[in-house]
Structure 1
Amino acid sequence: MPKILQQTGGDVVEIILADHRWFEEALRELRDVRADRAAVLADLATVLIAHAEAEESKVYPALSRKRAIDSEEVEHSEHEHDEGNEALLALMEVEDPASEEFSEKTHELSEALSHHLDEEERDVLNPAKTDVGQEVRDRLGEDFSAERARLIESDCGSIENVRRIVEEAQKKK
């Protein structure tokens, strides 16, 4: 299992990309029937929730203020986070990590997450690289890292918290 990254600062784009690569590795582990799938899922849930919540509270608003992304891009990214959280919750609710259902739900999460990572890297992170100065990206990296670390410490990936996040998102629809 990949070690949970605990970066403390630097370019926010590089930090987010490092998380994306970590997610891909965690998904590979989840697909491996020999892996400790329950442990991998617990780590993935924690980092995924912390990452998305920190992006929504720290990164997207700042990039929007800098006009690197517009409100439609923010809304679309947040919607994709909601879809990913629903797929994550469905996987977390599977009782047997060795079951075919676990494999199916892993595939659904992998599809949702891969789609989001691809779009975010093209439509959010590329404009952040070209339209936002290094100093701002570094400050955002510190803000993002601090919020992500705070959320990880708060056990944000617990099934109760993921369920709460999904229910709140469904109420907004």
Structure 2
Amino acid sequence: MPTSSIELGRPVSGDVIDLILDDHRRFEDLLRQLRDATSDRDAVRRAFATLHVAHAEAEEKEVYPTLRRRDAISEHEEEHGEEEHAEGNQALLAVLELKGTDTQTFDDAVEELARVVNHHLTEEELTILNPAREEVAERTRLALGKAFADERNNQVDADCGRIENVRAIVARAEKRGLLDDEE
């Protein structure tokens, strides 16, 4: 992996729901490490950035559109997921742009990142993954798992967590109106 020695997993196949949930648990673990002043917080934030961008891009490109076509989620749920990814990327950018990792400002930025990401994980598990589990055939979930894993791995290989890439993603989200104030 270009940006970090922290293991992010490299799935190649499986039920898309299980793959997404595995990443969600990785996010939670990385957030715990970011809060730990004794960890290599710079390496952890780079790993988090890579995982966050790869995961969100794979969901938006492969998972959400397919679930919507299968009527497992609504257009509103798809758009809401994209908005929450954009908010996560914005909070992530704030963490990445800080020079030091041993300041109150860094701790505050990490807590904001954790708040935004944890909210999204909970909501996605309840409103997107649960319906998909019940309404999408296993064969489709397995095909979607392969597509998700392929895109996720391609993003990781492209060093998607680079600060320049995160800045560009946030700028695109702003242009699309995904970061507007609450509806």
Asked if the contact 1:2–1:25 (Cα under 8 Å) also holds between the matched residues in 2, the reply is no
Answering whether residue 86 of structure 2 is matched by residue 72 of structure 1, we say: no
- The residue number in structure 2 matching 1:161 is 165
Answering whether residue 35 of structure 2 is matched by residue 62 of structure 1, we say: no
Q: Which has the higher helix share?
A: 1
Q: Secondary structure at the match of 2:153?
A: helix
Gaps of 5+ in 2: 178-183
Match runs of 1:94-105 below 5 Å:
94-105=98-109
Match runs of 1:1-173 below 5 Å:
3-173=7-177
Code of the aligned partner of 1:42:
R
Code of the aligned partner of 1:29:
Q
Asked if the contact 2:8–2:51 (Cα under 8 Å) also holds between the matched residues in 1, the reply is yes
Over residues 62-91 of structure 1, what are the superposed CA-to-partner deviations in whole Å (9 max), with x where a residue is unaligned? 000000001000000000000000000001
Could you say what the CA RMSD is over the residues aligned between the two structures, in angstroms? Answer: 0.9
CA-CA distance at 1:2 after TM superposition? 5.8
Identity %: 47
TM-score by length of 1: 0.99
CA-CA distance at 1:3 after TM superposition? 1.9
TM-score by length of 2: 0.93
Q: Secondary structure at the match of 1:129?
A: helix
Q: Secondary structure at the match of 1:114?
A: helix
**Where has structure 1 moved over 2 Å in runs of 4 or more?**
none
Question: Partners of 2:74 and 2:176 in 1: how far apart?
Answer: 20
